[in-house]
Amino acid sequence: MLYAPPEREARALGHVGIERRGRPEVMRFYELRWILGEVAEYVAALTLPHTGDAEDRRKRHELDNYLQ
C-alpha cells in the first residue's frame, strides 16, 4: 500500500471504516477493475465442473448481483 496509488485500496479500506480520498476517475478505474476480477473469478468457477454446494450458490448470487 505504501507505493500504490491511494485510490487502489480505497474500496477495501472503506469496508472497514477507513475513508480514503482520491481522484474520482482513478477511483472508478479501480472499482471497475475489482468488479471485472470478481466476475471473471465467478464465471471461471461456475463454468468448470462444480458441486452446486453453498459456496457455488454464493458465487452465483454474487455474479447475479454484478450482472443486474
CA distance 28 to 60: 24
Q: Which of 30, 34, 39 is nearest to 6 (CA)?
A: 30
CA distance 31 to 3: 19
Confidence (pTM): 0.71
Residue 2's pLDDT band (boundaries 50, 70, 90)? low
CA distance 26 to 24: 5
Give me the residue spans of the domains in the chain.
Answer: 6-67
Residue of higher predicted confidence among 3 and 56: 56
Q: What is the pLDDT of the chain when averaged over all its residues?
A: 86
Residue range 17-48, pLDDT digits in tens: 777 778 889 889 988 998 999 999 999 999 99
DSSP code for 16? T
- What's the distance, CA 42 to chain centroid? 11
